[in-house]
A and B are shown apart, each in its own frame.
Chain A
Amino acid sequence: MRALASPLLLLGAAAMMAAARPAFPEVLAQVVPAKYNLTVRPGEVTVREVEIANQGDAPVVVRVTWSDWTMDEQGNLALEPAGSTPQSLAGLVEVEPSEFSVGPGESAQVRVTLRLPADGPATRWGAMLSEVRPASPKSPALGPRATAQLGTTFYLSRIPAEIVNADVVGMRFRPRGDSVAVSVEVRNAGERHYYLGGHIAVADSTGQAVAGGDLPNGIVLPGRTRSFEWLCTARLAPGRYSVSATLDTGGPELTVAEGKFLWPARRERNLAARQP
């Protein structure tokens, strides 16, 4: 229900240039830890604490909520409403207190009580979100007022961490300018999440190492496939190359996958990975 105002009135009301930095107190907050990986017995009550520290120079008000999250194959994380995913922890977690004040230079503990039922998904996950805002917020004339929110990710599983079920289901090579993007696709066929890191080694047709680097670390959620990409920026002479990906899931054994590509590539190649 907005009316069109007289341009003269608007111009008269806003004659200054667009730029204004107010001297309102900043929000500077820390959460410890930012992540919990918990293995529990079914039905067992687990209690953990999360510390919210106000490192700013003004008092803040903290409000704690819960959120689900999902992740796509490229590793992009999306926050979702609590209770909206099959693996949600909503209804199985309680936080105390859920709203409190923290003075400058002080910190407060949030007690998180979790329970994993014997039925349903063997692993559930979510995020505790701690919204931190100034105790005395101010308003700008036209524009945003910003609030900080810090997440603590929780994984709760009844499957021991030693049981990892990682399958390399593909290796993809894509030209990207003068570089080659090497993607390793990993499927988690198990019921528990695991973290994956790894190393890529590129060798020419004589077996001489020509390039290498680390894959980014990341989580692979149960029942999901995730792609990990490394960009080979080394200048490659025309020829055939072999790629070896050594993957570490934290288990006792490393997983090694191999693939080959021709450079320069005429088109995208999508090879099934071969595990020796």
Chain B
Amino acid sequence: MKRFTLVLAVLLVGTLAATSGFAASSGTSAVTLAASANEVLQIIDNTLTLTPNATDYANDYVELTGASGLRVRLKSNSTTGVVLFVKCTDASPQIALADFLVRTGTAAGVGGSTLSSYTAVTAADQALWSTGVAQTTFQQVRTDIRVQNLFAYPDAITAGTTSYTDNLTFTAISQ
């Protein structure tokens, strides 16, 4: 049944092609792309470990900045741009939020803004980076991470180091 249908279609196309050889004709065909606003968000660094050294303890903070920071990529075809928020919703953050600071050195997009100075993470969303226009190619946003007040995080009497982890949520949203 399928084979028959295919043959019939080929014959029909052949007839149309032959006809156009005798009588010139033209027409238009409208092709419509129904585009939807969409966003893609990639957390490149799912986890990041900060391991303080003696200097860090002397400074009472440890940080990872620039290319060593936490990397997120996003793109959006929304013509009103996209905002990237950051928050920590842990019920009991292991790293006190007052000790957990973030900022970004990534330049804002056109008409956007950035959180450019260290700010304590909160349980509510804080705008980290934004653009006011469509971001049609991946934009990497690097988040500098600083943990301060290091002596408040003791090392238990067990082998190896003691882990303190907070969960950060990066949210991308368009208006």
- Which A residues have a C-beta under 8 Å from some C-beta of B? 2-5, 7, 9-22, 24-35, 55-56, 69, 71, 75-79, 127, 129, 131-132, 134, 137-151, 153, 195, 197, 216-219, 229
User: What mask results when residues 139 to 166 of chain B are scored 1 for a CB within 8 Å of chain A, else 0?
Assistant: 0000001010011111100001111111
Instruction: Report the nearest A residue to B167, measured CB to CB.
Output: A145
Set of chain A residues within 8 Å of B100, measured between Cβ atoms: 144
Instruction: Report the nearest B residue to A134, measured CB to CB.
Output: B46
B98 at the interface (CB under 8 A from A): no
Instruction: Report the nearest B residue to A20, measured CB to CB.
Output: B49
- Chain B nearest CB from A71 CB (Å) reads 7
Task: Evaluate contact between A34 and B64: CB separation under 8 angstroms.
Answer: no
4 closest Cβ pairs, A-B complex = A151-B173, A5-B154, A33-B36, A140-B49
User: What mask results when residues 78 to 104 of chain B are scored 1 for a CB within 8 Å of chain A, else 0?
Assistant: 111101010010000001000010000
**B51 interface neighbour in A18, A79, A134, A195, Cβ under 8 Å:** A18
- Chain B nearest CB from A161 CB (Å) reads 16
Set of chain B residues within 8 Å of A35, measured between Cβ atoms: 36-37, 78, 174
CA distance in complex: A24, B169 (Å): 17
CA distance in complex: A127, B160 (Å): 43
Which residues from 119 to 154 on chain B have a C-beta closer than 8 Å to any C-beta of chain A?
124-125, 127, 130, 132-133, 145, 147, 150-154
CA distance in complex: A77, B80 (Å): 12
Task: Evaluate contact between A10 and B154: CB separation under 8 angstroms.
Answer: yes
Q: A19-B64, A29-B40, A219-B80 in contact; A144/B70 too (CB < 8 A)?
A: yes
A and B contact pairs by CB, cutoff 8 A, 25 listed? A5-B154, A9-B154, A10-B155, A12-B155, A14-B161, A17-B53, A18-B50, A18-B64, A22-B46, A24-B47, A28-B41, A32-B36, A55-B40, A75-B132, A138-B47, A139-B163, A141-B163, A142-B95, A142-B165, A143-B50, A143-B64, A143-B147, A147-B167, A147-B168, A218-B80
